[in-house]
Amino acid sequence: MTDNKDTLIIDLDNTLTQADSSQDYSKKLVNKQVALAVNNAISLGYASKIFSARNMRSFKGDMAKIESVTRPIAEAWLYENNIEHDELILGKPWCGFDGWYLDDKNISIEEFIFKFSGPYWNQTVNIIIPFFNEENNIVKTHLAHQKLERLFNISNYIYVDNGSNDRTSDMLKIIDDEKIKIVTIKENIGYGNGIKAGLLESSSDLVFLNHGDLQFDPYSFIYANLESLTNIQKPLNIFPQRLNRPIYDNINSFVLRLILSSIYLRKIPDFNGQPKLIFKNSIKNIDLLPNNFCIDLGLYNLCKSNVLGLPVVQKWRESGESSWSNKLSKRIKIFIDYILYALKNMGK
């Protein structure tokens, strides 16, 4: 095993074992969810090391006693419970009853179980974000989406400079992350065209779509719905249902969905929310998708039979300016565009 291999450093007691202080170490029950997630992670190529503070308090840090007494019991338990691991390391400092282990690479047990045994554990994910004049949001947006690595196997961040005329291009280039792919579009012909450019660059199982305006926090959205996602029987496309929107926006969306529902002769839910998680194989003929905001409706139509709607909180924009929300003429045009698109594709 090479030193630079991605490795899980796993605690033993109350992580791999169930939390029960009354049980003798040799009779501890295994946390089956964690054990499954560990084995799944190993199947994806991770190495695993168990690093334990067991008996460090009881034996007052006496490593000779820990090696002679603690190791045989721990290794026998790991073997009996089929816990795959490359190494058992004893002697981790005990943090005390009210202490904590602080680490920037730390992952909670709930996150770990979802990431490595949830419905998407063996799927790769590309994050696709089109940026149009969002120079002040670039770094914050990337940091916000990096947190998703606690929950998904993110293989690439595909960031599209969608014809910006500010410093968006320069800001994208200063981020130091080898997973980033930058796609440059010289002239902005629409939000949908930026999404399409990112989709054409993607080679993952799933794509995670979001805006670059920081109105929808990606990690908080998934984490807040972790229980619902963990319990689904099969992995689904996710289309969020927006909360905390201005009343005028809610009325506008309701009327639009009512009209669209009458055109399609089926109920159309909120399809414009972000972020979306979509299986790439659900998206056929990328080039045929619209270049404007109607792409959200086009994507929903492609995924409609396999969609899970989950609530997402919409925040106020931190920086930048919407190209349409404060302009009545733009709102009316987008409204009409949706209706025309629906009429043209009513049989689809």
- For the stretch 96-136, pLDDT in tens is 999 999 999 999 999 999 999 999 999 999 999 999 999 99
Per-residue exposure over 284-304, b if at least 16 CB sit within 10 Å of its own CB, e if not: eeeeebbebbbbbbbbbbbbb
DSSP strand pairing (87-90 vs 47-52): parallel
Is residue 208 within 8 A of residue 126, CB to CB? The reply is yes
- Residue 321 — pLDDT band, cuts 50, 70, 90? low
Task: Give residue 347's pLDDT.
Answer: 67
Ramachandran region of residue 252, left (φ > 0), alpha (ψ -120 to 50) or beta? alpha
Share the mean pLDDT of the chain.
93
- Domains of the chain are 7-115 (3.40.50.1000), 118-344 (3.90.550.10)
Residue 218 has pLDDT above 70, yes or no: yes
CA atoms within 13 A of residue 196's CA, in its CB half-sphere: 20
pLDDT band for 1, please (50, 70, 90 cuts). very low
Mean pLDDT within 14-18:
95
φ/ψ of residue 201, rounded to 5: -90, -15
Q: Give the three-class secondary structure for 219.
A: helix
Tell me the pLDDT tens digit for each residue of 219-268: 999 999 999 998 898 999 999 999 989 998 999 999 999 999 999 999 99
Report the range of poorest mean pLDDT among 133-147, 253-267, 313-327: 313-327
Please, are residues 293 and 222 in contact by the beta-carbon 8 Å criterion?
no
